[in-house]
């Protein structure tokens, strides 16, 4: 469907190291574009000199020290240095879709930094937003944290969704850290059988269905779905 001059404008705002949050937002974007929306991506860049080097490459060079090294800052909910694209400062949007990976049970430092910044208010104030949480296991504090921070900047919460990876606590962690350290999927690690990790096709279909529900709430039902 071609975009019209007065097409609804959707901003995809996210931080994504391995690309998982971007994958679900890309799937959602397909639905918004099919509804005639103008979709703009706004990836956050993590530039903090204390941490940026480890996130500037994939896979991680020393996965366990680098993975565990974020735990103190995450536990204390600290902020750091980030860079955002021009679209964050110059555009006005009808819907903001926030892609939020879970770092140690909560909002990642780059996304938290943006949501606590002065730059966030002009984007969110009076605007509707939806949250897409990507996580290994724990998602509640992440989703609740993003919602709370965005609402403090004047955002109006529409809905939220989470995408979790299969497996128990230890197997899923080993699967994820194995992927972070090698960039490859393994069936076994440290002698343990591993579940698959990261976003799969079923998650992407779920993201599309969720985007359709959000679009219905914000922009009204699609013409083909109207009675």
Residue that the structure tokens 């555009």 belong to:
91
- The answer to whether the CB of 210 falls within 8 A of the CB of 159 is yes
Instruction: Write the CB contacts of 28 (distance below 8 Å, at least 6 apart in sequence).
Output: 12, 97, 132, 207, 208, 210, 211, 214
Binned at pLDDT 50, 70 and 90, residue 202 comes out as very high
**Nearest Cα residue to 102 out of 44, 23, 16:** 16
CB atoms closer than 10 angstroms to residue 119 = 16
Binned at pLDDT 50, 70 and 90, residue 215 comes out as very high
**Nearest Cα residue to 134 out of 2, 23, 53:** 23
Using the predicted structure, report yes or no on whether residue 226 has a pLDDT greater than 70: no
3-state DSSP assignment of residue 104: coil
Domain residue spans of the chain: 9-225
Mean pLDDT of the chain: 92
Region 208-213: mean pLDDT is 98
Binned at pLDDT 50, 70 and 90, residue 36 comes out as very high
What is the reported pTM?
0.91
Q: In this predicted structure, what is the pLDDT of residue 172? A: 87
Task: Please state which architecture CATH assigns to domain 9-225.
Answer: 3-Layer(aba) Sandwich (3.40)
CB atoms closer than 10 angstroms to residue 148 = 12
3-state DSSP assignment of residue 155: coil
């Amino acid at each position: 469907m071609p975009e019209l001059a007065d097409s609804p404008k959707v901003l995809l705002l996210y931080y994504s190291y391995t690309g998982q949050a971007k994958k679900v937002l890309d799937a959602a974007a397909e639905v918004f574009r099919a509804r005639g929306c103008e979709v703009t991506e706004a990836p956050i860049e993590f530039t903090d000199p204390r941490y940026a080097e480890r996130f500037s490459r994939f896979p991680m060079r020393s996965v366990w020290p680098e993975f565990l090294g974020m735990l103190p800052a995450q536990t204390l909910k600290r902020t750091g240095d980030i860079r955002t694209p021009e679209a964050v400062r110059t555009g006005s949007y009808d819907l903001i879709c926030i892609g939020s990976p879970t770092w140690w049970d909560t909002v990642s430092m780059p996304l938290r930094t943006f949501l606590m910044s002065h730059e966030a208010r002009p984007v969110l104030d009076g605007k509707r937003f939806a949250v897409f949480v990507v996580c290994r296991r724990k998602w509640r504090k992440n989703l609740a944290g993003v919602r709370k921070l965005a609402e403090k900047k004047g955002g109006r919460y529409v809905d939220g969704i989470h995408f979790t990876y299969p497996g128990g606590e230890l197997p899923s962690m080993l699967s994820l850290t194995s992927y972070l350290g090698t960039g490859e999927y393994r069936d076994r690690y440290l002698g343990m059988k591993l579940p698959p990790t990261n976003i799969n096709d079923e998650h992407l279909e779920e993201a599309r269905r969720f985007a359709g529900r959000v679009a219905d709430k914000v922009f009204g039902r699609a013409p083909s779905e109207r009675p």
